[in-house]
Structure 1
Amino acid sequence: MKKYLLLLTCSFISIFGSYSQSKKDVEVLKNTIWKTENLGNGLVWQYFHFQQKELFESNQSIHILKSKLKNKTVKFALGSADIHHKESDTTRKLLKTSLIAATSNALVAVNGGFFNTKKGGAVDLIKIDGKVLDTATYNPRKALPDHSRSAIVIHRNKIAIVKGDTLPFWERKLSEESIMVTGPLLLFDDKEEPLKNNAFTNNRHPRTCACITKTKEILLITIDGRNTEAQGMSLQELTFLTKNLGCKNAINLDGGGSTTMYIKNKPDHGVVNFPSDNKLFDHFGERSVSNILMILPK
């Protein structure tokens, strides 16, 4: 009986402590005075470096790009390191987000979906302006990986986040002109999506995500990590952040060393966050990637 009461007490403390921390983090985010810059073309850049272990009892560096969904001065688009790839080609390119963005004349961009680090090319469906560049490489006999169950789609300059299926090849039913299958999905219709209990989900890493807010804006978000200045987030923490930023739908993109935010005409080749591949808290640790999510001048 005493052992049972001890376990019950410990559980209560754990739950209460978690609740108290969440309540504290809500207040921290609510009271944050973001450093904000109007980039023109209806685009806004916000940034804040949470220090002294303010957020999630950790240091965090968060960058956000905002645009109204109905922004008539820009075009939402996907970019690829090998946009002119031929199916007969066996060698695929990997290029830095900033280089793909600059070559595409993007106003802003973030890295995109997951890719093959050795052979290049995305591991899920990538379709750009009607041309399929990559198809799924998962094993159709096994359960779909989390990054293969949702997507960002663009059609007639309308961008949306869609929830997929657990069945293989569900993405073949998508008809939009541009498609990036990625994941896992974090929020959908203002509800938290279930996340797997594994190291990818639970450990803190640099993260990139996109979300659609209740006020009909799109947010492109990067979370720096793998540094004492910025520890990164678990997917639970990222979900919590997007929810408190007013997101209705939110989707995870490739993270880790890939996490990069680009803004045209900014120093350091336009890289404004702190990519982690060089293990330094500077702007020069970009990892080469296969594809990006970007906003172009219309």
Structure 2
Amino acid sequence: MKRLRFPKSRIGRAFVAGVTALVLAAGGGSAWALDRYVVDHVQIADVDAYEAAQDGGGAGSPGDGTVVGSTYTSSDATVTVSKHTTGSGAATVTYFVADVMLGDATRLRSAFADNAFGANIVENTSAIAAGNGAVFAINGDYYGFRDTGIEIRDGVIYRDAGARQGLAFYRDGHVEVYDETATTARQLLADGVWNTLSFGPAVLVDGAIPDGIDDVEVDTNFGNHSIQGAQPRTAVGVVDANHLIFVVVDGRSPGYSAGVTMTGLAQLMQQLGAKTAYNIDGGGSSTMVFDGEVVNNPLGKGTERGTSDILYIER
């Protein structure tokens, strides 16, 4: 619905005029006040188009996309990466899909920044990937930003502090969403878990979109209360045993990519054929690396943000 637009009130104009007069009287040293209170600073030029991109939270149909590079094939892994764009103008959404087939589930591995586990240890996704001989990689769950969660990586327990909805990759190739608070890392390991992620929420369970996913808070510390609204996103989807899809949605860059809501991410994963899908660290962390190159455009600036961990396929 087109909103009605009203001119500024006389009172509002008088206030602006008064501020302007005061600043001018104070001299050039107060030019910052003009910039702060008077001068327009347009961040999104077409709000209606931008909001249209959020309606239904969707990125539209994935379509065929454009294959990025050449499909990687080995005796036990196949990786095909494609780029997709939907919408136009401020409603444009650009995202990347890696379709991964594994002959052995343990080919999906994890690695940590600087080869160390702990808080605030960060390195660019591409650097971690290069240091581990990865042909394909995405950013992980940024475990180092928090001290809770169950973290099992490559069959090794690193943290056992269940707090949220997690994702478990099993050695037999199946993947499950689970409640971290209802089990232990040791039990998961005994049950055959190879890797876990602790972020969330799950955006698809048995092919359906769970209620309330747009209201989930992963971190409640000051300044990081939510992961809501249209954002850059990274997600893992499960089509079948040993058939995974990894999605990175660029965002916060109207005209190139506005990002998607959590519901939009869920709809996208559905369209790609996933039955289970799980949201992991996004925003400036959202990065996909393939064949030695960062294929997406983090925050529309082409500059990576350091993260604490990755998931990858070794060459």
TM-score, normalised by the number of residues in structure 1: 0.71
Give the number of the structure whose residues are more often helix, by fraction: 2
Counterpart of 1:60 in structure 2 is 93
Following TM superposition, by how much is the alpha carbon of 1:189 offset from its aligned partner in structure 2, in angstroms? 1.7
CA distance in 2, matches of 1:205, 1:123: 24
Query: Which residue of 60, 65, 79 corresponds with 1:34?
Result: 65
- Relative distance call for 1:166 and 1:215 in structure 2 (3 A) is closer
* Alignment partner of 1:273 is 2:300: no
Q: Which digits, 9 at most, give the CA deviation of each residue in 1:2-25, with x for residues without a partner?
A: xxxxxxxxxxxxxxxx9xx76xx7
Residue type of the partner of 1:208? T
* Alignment partner of 1:258 is 2:282: no
Following TM superposition, by how much is the alpha carbon of 1:48 offset from its aligned partner in structure 2, in angstroms? 1.7
SS in 2 for 1:109: strand
Query: Which residue of 84, 106, 110 corresponds with 1:48?
Result: 84
Counterpart of 2:188 in structure 1 is 174
Alignment check: 8 A CA contact 1:45 1:65 kept: yes
Following TM superposition, by how much is the alpha carbon of 1:65 offset from its aligned partner in structure 2, in angstroms? 0.6
Q: How does 1:145-160 map to 2 (within 5 A)?
A: 148-155=164-171, 158-160=172-174
Alignment check: 8 A CA contact 1:46 1:63 kept: yes
Same amino acid, percent of matched pairs:
22
SS in 1 for 2:126: helix
SS in 2 for 1:192: coil
Single out whichever of 63-72 and 253-262 deviates more from structure 2.
Answer: 63-72
- Relative distance call for 1:123 and 1:225 in structure 2 (3 A) is farther
- Relative distance call for 1:194 and 1:172 in structure 2 (3 A) is farther
CA distance in 2, matches of 1:166, 1:115: 14
CA distance in 1, matches of 2:138, 2:260: 17
Counterpart of 1:244 in structure 2 is 271
Single out whichever of 43-52 and 286-295 deviates more from structure 2.
Answer: 43-52
* Alignment partner of 1:76 is 2:108: yes
Report runs of 4+ in structure 1 exceeding 6 Å deviation. Answer: none
Following TM superposition, by how much is the alpha carbon of 1:264 offset from its aligned partner in structure 2, in angstroms? 2.1
- Relative distance call for 1:159 and 1:77 in structure 2 (3 A) is farther
Alignment check: 8 A CA contact 2:65 2:85 kept: no
Alignment check: 8 A CA contact 1:207 1:223 kept: yes
C-alpha root-mean-square deviation of aligned residues, in Å? 3.0
- Relative distance call for 1:96 and 1:152 in structure 2 (3 A) is farther
CA distance in 1, matches of 2:97, 2:120: 30
Following TM superposition, by how much is the alpha carbon of 1:182 offset from its aligned partner in structure 2, in angstroms? 2.8
Residue type of the partner of 2:175? I
Counterpart of 2:178 in structure 1 is 164
Q: How does 1:1-298 map to 2 (within 5 A)?
A: 29=61, 32-37=63-68, 38-41=70-73, 42-52=78-88, 58-70=91-103, 75-85=107-117, 93-117=121-145, 123-136=148-161, 144=163, 148-155=164-171, 158-165=172-179, 167=181, 171=185, 173-175=187-189, 176-198=193-215, 200=226, 202-213=228-239, 217-228=243-254, 229-265=256-292, 270-276=293-299, 281-284=300-303, 286-297=304-315
Runs of 5+ in structure 1 lacking a partner?
1-17, 139-143
CA distance in 2, matches of 1:188, 1:210: 12
CA distance in 1, matches of 2:312, 2:276: 18
SS in 1 for 2:270: helix
Runs of 5+ in structure 2 lacking a partner?
1-51, 217-225
Residue type of the partner of 1:263? F
Following TM superposition, by how much is the alpha carbon of 1:79 offset from its aligned partner in structure 2, in angstroms? 1.3
Following TM superposition, by how much is the alpha carbon of 1:80 offset from its aligned partner in structure 2, in angstroms? 1.2
